[in-house]
Amino acid sequence: MSSWRLKWHKLTHWEYWPLWAIYYPLFPVWLYFSLKARSFFFFNAANPSMKNGGMAMESKMDIYNMIPAEHIPQTVFIPREEQPELALEKVLKAGISFPFIAKPDIGMKAFGVEKIHNKDEFKNYFQKTPENFLVQELIPFPNEVGIFYVRMPGEAKGKITGIVSKHFLSVVGDGISTILELIKSNPRSHLQLKVLRKRFGSRLMEVLDSGEEFILVPYGSHTRGAKFVDDTHKLNKGLLKTIDDICSKMDGFHYGRLDVLHNSFEELSEGKNFSIIEINGAGGEATHIYDPKHSLFFAWKEITKHWNYLNKISIINHGLGHSYLSFRDGRAMLRENGELEAQLKLI
């Protein structure tokens, strides 16, 4: 695909637009909710057990400690100042073997998330990561779903407001084309070409057998090429019970998205064969909006709906004694988050 066609595709498909282009038009809506709460940074009270309500700069390890242990991967916290050899010894003693996942303890958009296959890759990751990070066992389940959950303070049960299935970025061979040619034939993968060249190098010149699927990015991240499909219509009583049972055990959690690896949607609904790989609080998006079939107006409607939930929860919790962020602290948080994001993009 030529560069101008690729640019035109990005321009005419809003899912590829920068976040400011999607969210800035909704600033008056946020201002309205801020006036209702009498705080611009009201979200801090939404999830009292999460730093900044889970909007930004929260520790993933702290959040994992909130989740019932049987529903998360085996996870080891690695301080940045630790020696790589001692860190790897700690990982192996915890029963985590290669390959495993490494990711920043404070991060966003799957920046800095890598699959580590050997000691050399671990040492390289250790040297280039700017912050503390986590090592997690590799979960074998092939599917990933994002489930948005909302529960009003004081209520025993919550509700699911969005479900998104995440299709990992991949190509399927035809027995003729190289992986590079297959990547260039699809704008979704072509837009990731720079990163893919760095990761796979000369392997991109390989030819896949006809029908053979090759996973380019094994993470359900929209910024790294995953296709998001709105599966909210699949909501059922079993799934709601499964998620409700977990979230009700997380003290102070009322609003956010659970990212879950699972074997099948049916088993997940029955509470079987799944693992929660991340929970995003106030900063979590209802990512079913990024289904290519949805318009920007649909996205704005869903964003506004979820901000309304966030606002109501925050106001109630504030009345119960949980604080909002001051304007000064809120600005400092956003500045710190922007600086960290810039660093993580370089990993």
Query: Domain-by-domain residue ranges, the chain?
Result: 27-73+141-167+227-344, 169-217
Dihedral of the alpha carbons of 316, 317, 323, 326, in degrees to the nearest 10: -50
pLDDT at 127: 87
Above 90 in pLDDT, residue 163? yes
**pLDDT averaged over the chain?**
95
pLDDT at 108: 83
pLDDT at 67: 97
pLDDT at 47: 98
Above 80 in pLDDT, residue 1? no
Kindly report the CATH class assigned to 27-73+141-167+227-344: alpha beta
Across the range 303-319, mean pLDDT stands at: 98
Above 90 in pLDDT, residue 346? no
- Name the residue type at position 207: V
pLDDT at 41: 98
Instruction: Render pLDDT for 78-123 as a digit per residue (tens, 0 to 9).
Output: 999 999 999 999 999 999 999 999 999 998 877 889 999 999 999 9
More confident residue, 329 or 219: 329
Q: How many CB atoms lie within 10 A of CB 323?
A: 13
pLDDT at 248: 94
What is the C-alpha to C-alpha distance for residues 32 and 310, in angstroms, rounded to an integer?
13
pLDDT at 227: 97
Instruction: Render pLDDT for 241-270 as a digit per residue (tens, 0 to 9).
Output: 999 999 999 999 999 999 999 999 999 999
Do the Cβ atoms of 51 and 62 come closer than 8 Å?
yes
Mapping DSSP onto H, E and C, the string for the chain reads CCHHHHHHHHHHCHHHCCHHHHHHHHHHHHHHHHHHHCCCCHHHHCCCCCHHHHCCCCCHHHHHCCCCHHHCCCEEEECCCCCHHHHHHHHHHCCCCCCEEEEECCCCCCCCCEEECCHHHHHHHHHHCCCCEEEEECCCCCEEEEEEEECCCCCCCCEEEEEEEEECEEEECCCCCEHHHHHHCCHHHHCCHHHHHHHHHHHHHCECCCCCEEEEECCCCHHHCCEEEECHHHCCHHHHHHHHHHHCCCCCCCEEEEEEEECCHHHHHCCCCEEEEEEECCCCCCHHHHCCCCCHHHHHHHHHHHHHHHHHHHHHHHHCCCCCCCHHHHHHHHHHHHHHHHHHCCC
More confident residue, 274 or 219: 274
Q: How many CB atoms lie within 10 A of CB 55?
A: 24
Confidence label for 154 from pLDDT (cuts 50, 70 and 90) = very high
Angle between helices 84-93 and 119-128 (to 10 degrees): 120
Dihedrals phi, psi of 193, to nearest 5 degrees? -60, -40
Confidence label for 149 from pLDDT (cuts 50, 70 and 90) = very high
| Cβ-based neighbours of 170, under 8 Å, separated by 6 or more | 213, 214, 215, 216
